[in-house]
Structure 1
Amino acid sequence: MKVAGTNPAEKQEPREGIYSSSRLERGLIVLTIALASIGLGYLFFTQLWWKLPPDFGCRDDFTRGGLCFFLQHSVDEADASNTLLKANILESRPGAEVSVPIGWATQLNAAFIENVVQPNIRWFGYVIWGTEAWIFLSMCLGFFSRLGALAAIGMSMQLMIGLAHTPNEWEWSYILMVLLSVAMFGLAPGRYFGLDRLLRPRFRAMGERGSRVGRLLLLFT
């Protein structure tokens, strides 16, 4: 008696996407993810050099220039426009017919900068600079890439809330940073290239032995 589905000779359905049985398809996916990840990392790399420690490009006792300028700019423009994702559908009518209000977020962001970041810029600047440096290393080396992508989401969200709505800024440059960071968080690019491919088997073995640290490290890679 023949049992359905047990014949190894039966033709299997072709696998698609990241599970594709085609070496060319898998290679193309890995290459695309690697390019996107390294591109995101390089973006943050380019922003390290105009705000180098210990003064982060600031002048006049950390009141002007460099990182201090953009922090103050976010505070000064907290009331500007206060909308994102604007779509001007009917050119004959002024203003955007579709938009998302973010006034509450810009006000919270401004309050955080004024009350936390600016008074402590001498050490908080290291947090900002170090986070961006970590994103660069994580995304380009595929090292704890999901953790790096999470940091990129946080940095990109802050930039989007603080600057995307201000005059002379193209909001989609910041929105696309957020979307790319979210995509990298979901994909965990280090699983396709880089150091995470070497680390994950070790972390998985730790998790299988009951180590909570191993399971946590596995999640971040």
Structure 2
Amino acid sequence: MSEVSSVADRKSGQPREGIYSSSRLERTITVLAVAIASIGLGYLFFTQLWWKLPPDFGCRDDFTRGGLCFFLQHAADEADASNILLKAEIVRSSPGPELSVPIGWATQLNAAFIENFVQPNIRWFGYVVWSTEAWIFLSMCLGFFSRLGALAAIGMSTQLMIGLAHTPNEWEWSYILMLLLSIAMFGLAPGRYFGLDRLLRPRLKVLSERGSRVGRLLLLFT
């Protein structure tokens, strides 16, 4: 019955319900919402580029203090902090949150990664961090390989959430919401609604249909 009504709607020109609505107003609202969210996420990472510019990434004293080095050390030092996220204090009189997710294992792994790999190699790994955030900004704002940009945002947001969200004087939901927005952008692939991906996808689709594995992979990331 639903298929018959759907066909009838298309023939009659009536707007359809859902994300593929034929209503111009609905499509416009969807595109605007996705574009604002995508550009907003990109701008968030844009604002974080300038306090850790290469080549020293804001660090001082032979890459031991300040700038990016400070936050890396802070994440490592606070690995043994409360180590829980998604805290919900349902009963005010109860000691501690009734609902929470333990992340101690993740904070310990993150601290080990920072201390044993990132900090000893900060002179070149800092470029990886900075370039990744710059790529997220460009990808999200231009709609260019936007799903790949969102995937990078998921990685960065996850690391920030694990390293900093549980530490004192931080609002954990600022990091959780950043991660959730990145996941939403990965699912939506905002470049399909606006930006350069709308120009790339028809060409990549041709390559994919010809059996090109590279074309199929690139199509997935746009």
TM range (shorter): over 0.9
The match for 1:68 is 69
The separation in 2 between residues aligned to 1:8 and 1:130, in whole angstroms, is: 51
Counterpart Cα distance in 2 of 1:8 and 1:65: 65
Q: By how many angstroms is 1:78 displaced?
A: 0.1
Partner of 1:84: 85
* Structure 1 portions without partners, runs of 5+: none
AA aligned opposite 1:151: A
Structure 2 CA distance for aligned equivalents of residues 28 and 84 of structure 1: 34
| Structure 2 unmatched ranges of 5 or more | none
Q: Percent identity?
A: 84
Q: Give the aligned partner of residue 189 of structure 1.
A: 190
Match of 1:42 in 2: 43
Shift of 1:93: 1.5
Matched, 1:33 2:34: yes
Counterpart residue number, 1:129: 130
Superposition pairs of residues 99-110 of structure 1, within 5 angstroms: 99-110=100-111
Give the Å deviation of 1:111.
Answer: 0.2
- What residue is the counterpart of 1:146 in the other structure? 147
Identify if the C-alpha distance between structure 1 residues 136 and 8 changes in structure 2 by more than 3 Å, giving closer, same or farther: closer
RMSD over aligned Cα atoms? 1.5
Which protein is richer in helix relative to its size? 2
**TM-score, normalised relative to structure 2:** 0.94
Structure 1 residues 173-188: aligned runs within 5 Å: 173-188=174-189
Q: Distance in 2 between matches of 1:90 and 1:47?
A: 37
Kindly state the Cα deviation for residue 92 of structure 1 after the two structures are TM-superposed.
1.1
Q: Distance in 2 between matches of 1:13 and 1:35?
A: 28
How much has 1:160 moved relative to structure 2?
0.1
Whole-Å Cα distance in 2 between the matches of residues 29 and 73 of structure 1?
40
Match of 1:204 in 2: 205
Counterparts of 2:60 and 2:18, CA distance in 1: 51
TM-score by length of 1: 0.95
Q: 2 CA distance for matches of 1:132 and 1:17?
A: 33
SS at match of 2:55: coil
Evaluate the alpha carbon distance shift between residue 11 and residue 92 of structure 1 in structure 2; reply closer, same or farther with a 3 A threshold: same
Read off the aligned partner of 2:42 and give its amino acid letter.
G
Shift of 1:8: 6.6
Aligned residues: 216
Deviations 1:93-127 (A, max 9, x none): 22100000000000000000000000000000000
State the shift of 1:15 in Å: 1.9
**1:17, CA displacement in angstroms?**
2.7
What are the Cα deviations for residues 163-187 of structure 1, in whole angstroms up to 9, with x where unaligned? Answer: 0000000000000000000000000
Deviates more, 1:139-148 or 1:204-213: 204-213
